[in-house]
């Protein structure tokens, strides 16, 4: 299956039904949760709380993300946290397993970076897991220009170490997000 850019649409999170974000995360992380009992106890509750916040706070949490649809069907989503301006943080993001490995994850992250750059953010941070399952995420962030700044445990509930990345945003580059389908 090749990536089909013509069929991609980026849709507001809050336009979707409550539960979609939780479902996308649960299905995308299922192989990892099967390996890590600590994460499988801790993370789904976090995702459920985030899913609720998206719909309870559509103008703040719900406005900081999008669902990627392919021919009308949600295949993934990406989000960000703008509260540390001028540093943005990339938040939950995923692509459903059936659609992974075709560039959709990278397209999502590049779109978030374009949005943050256009809104005047100067740098962006993101964190992912230090485990083979997260190799696609590690490669995705590296190919988007992030560089690793630190490794360590971040969540007392989970022993998985995390990798923190930083990207300094260029201020004067062509706007690619506006050229894509909204």
Q: Tell me the three-class secondary structure of 106-130, residue by residue.
A: HHHHHHHHHHHHHCCCCEEEEEEEC
Q: Which of 38, 60, 123, 143 is the binder for ligand COA (CB under 6 A)?
A: 143
Q: Which of 106, 145, 154, 166 is the binder for ligand COA (CB under 6 A)?
A: 106
Q: Which of 22, 94, 113, 163 is the binder for ligand COA (CB under 6 A)?
A: 94
CB 66 within 8 A of CB 77: yes
Q: Is 104 in the site for ligand COA (CB under 6 A)?
A: yes
Q: Is 58 in the site for ligand COA (CB under 6 A)?
A: no
Stretch that binds ligand COA, among 36-44, 90-98, 148-156, 168-176 (CB under 6 A): 90-98
Sequence-ordered list of residues with C-beta below 8 angstroms from that of 165, at least 6 positions apart, any chain: 125, 126, 127, 128, 141, 142, 146, 147, 148, 149
Q: Is 101 in the site for ligand COA (CB under 6 A)?
A: yes
């Amino acid at each position: 299956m090749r990536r089909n850019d013509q069929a991609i649409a980026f849709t507001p999170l809050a336009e979707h039904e409550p539960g979609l974000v939780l479902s996308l995360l649960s299905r995308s992380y299922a192989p990892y949760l099967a390996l890590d009992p600590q994460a499988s106890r801790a993370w789904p509750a976090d995702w459920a709380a985030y899913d609720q916040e998206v719909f309870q706070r559509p103008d703040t949490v719900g406005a900081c993300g999008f669902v990627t649809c392919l021919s009308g069907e949600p295949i993934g989503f990406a989000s960000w946290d703008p509260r540390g301006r001028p540093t943005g943080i990339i938040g939950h993001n995923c692509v459903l397993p059936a659609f992974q490995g075709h560039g959709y994850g990278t397209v999502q992250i590049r779109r978030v970076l374009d949005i943050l750059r256009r809104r005047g953010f100067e740098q962006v941070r993101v964190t992912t897991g230090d485990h083979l399952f997260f190799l696609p995420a590690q490669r995705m962030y590296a190919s988007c220009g992030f560089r690793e700044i630190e490794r360590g445990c971040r969540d007392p509930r989970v022993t998985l170490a995390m990798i923190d990345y930083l990207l300094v945003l260029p201020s004067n580059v062509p706007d690619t997000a506006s050229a894509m389908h909204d």
